[in-house]
Amino acid sequence: ALPNRVKIIDVGPRDGLQNEKQPVPAAIKVELVHRLQAAGLKDIEVTSFVSPKWVPQMGDNAEVMAGIQRQSGVRYSVLTPNMKGFEAAVLSKPDEIVVFGAASEAFSQKNINCSIAESIERFRPVVQAAVAQGIAVRGAISCAVGCPYEGEIAPERVELVARLMADIGVQHVGVADTIGVGTPSKVQRALEVTLKHYDIDHVSGHYHDTYGMALANTLASLEMGIWNYDTSVAGLGGCPYAKGATGNVATEDVVYMLHGMGIETGIDLDKLIDAGKFISDFLERKPHSRAANALLTK
């Protein structure tokens, strides 16, 4: 049955901007977060505490976190790949941290410079420390349907990572189609195996839109009862270690679809479009959102 309400995490400030070549000033990132919360977003993935040599765009993580005027009821999350990242992140008082692994060995090596097994050992103390400090813990499973280096990924490999994440105490996992190659039935299979280890309230969909499938994949996930999604305002983004992959499905498009289906999000579409327009203007391009462009020219 379809859920009657959906929770959206806007990952635009992090997943969306991490791949931008031109430096985006911290003040612009902070303003984007402010506009997203003004639009009613209750979950915002702000930044990542990764190596600035690997991802220079996220090098201002602490400055961005410090610049946000926090709104009560909004959850601010950050990526933490290891204890070094966690220790730095904690000083910024995130509400939630994200450990990110992959269902593909090759992608794990390229993205976080270690094997899947090693990544779990790096995440273990991070999860323990976060839980001890009352910080929520989410996990991401990259390449859950396909990998830029290994091609198609079997559901069993997604299941293995979901099981390993559950074993170390990760509370919620996102099934990520990193390069946007998934189609509805493939995405459903990746979700089904994840649901063997997590209940429906603790699994989210994270779909990049490279092949234009992300909205279809979202609908297929809704039909399974999945009600948590990561989306990116103005469809910003891409992963530096997944060449050619585009951003996540645009938040505006998902909100337009959900509201049209009578599913609540708590998000004001007009204000959301303003947020997307703000960052797209800064980047000197049109929003990668069909709904935003349609409504902006109406």
Contact call for residue 113 and ligand HMG (CB under 6 A) = yes
Contact call for residue 15 and ligand HMG (CB under 6 A) = yes
Identify the residue among 6, 36, 55, 292 touching ligand HMG (CB under 6 A). 55
- The CA distances from residue 170 to 67, 96, 136, 141, 162, in Å, are 28, 11, 9, 12, 9
Identify the residue among 164, 239, 255, 269 touching ligand HMG (CB under 6 A). 239
Query: Shortest Cβ distance from residue 262 to ligand HMG (Å)?
Result: 29
Stretch (H or E) spanning 62:
helix 61-67
Cite the DSSP H helix spans in 113-171: 116-132, 155-167
Identify the residue among 7, 54, 62, 149 touching ligand HMG (CB under 6 A). 54
Contact call for residue 84 and ligand HMG (CB under 6 A) = yes
Q: Is 239 annotated in the active site? A: yes
Distance CA 187, CA 241 (A): 21
The b/e string for 29-47 (b: 16+ C-beta within 10 A; e otherwise) is: bbbbbbbbbebbbbbbbbb
Burial classification of residue 159, based on how many CB atoms lie within 10 Å of its CB (0-12 exposed, 13-18 middle, 19 or more buried): buried
User: Pattern 4-43, binding to Mg ion, x per CB under 5 A?
Assistant: -----------x----------------------------
Partner touching 197 among Mg ion, ligand HMG, none, CB below 5 to 8 Å by kind: none
Partner touching 113 among ligand HMG, Mg ion, none, CB below 5 to 8 Å by kind: ligand HMG
Distance CA 217, CA 68 (A): 32
Task: Write the DSSP assignment of 245-264 as a string of letters.
Answer: ---BPBHHHHHHHHHHTT-B
CA-wise closest residue to 32 among 287, 224, 282? 282
Identify the residue among 47, 77, 108, 142 touching ligand HMG (CB under 6 A). 142
Q: Which residue numbers are catalytic?
A: 239
The binding site for Mg ion (CB under 5 A) comprises 15
The binding site for ligand HMG (CB under 6 A) comprises 15, 18, 48-51, 54-55, 79, 81-82, 84-85, 100, 111-113, 140, 142, 176, 178, 206, 208, 239-241
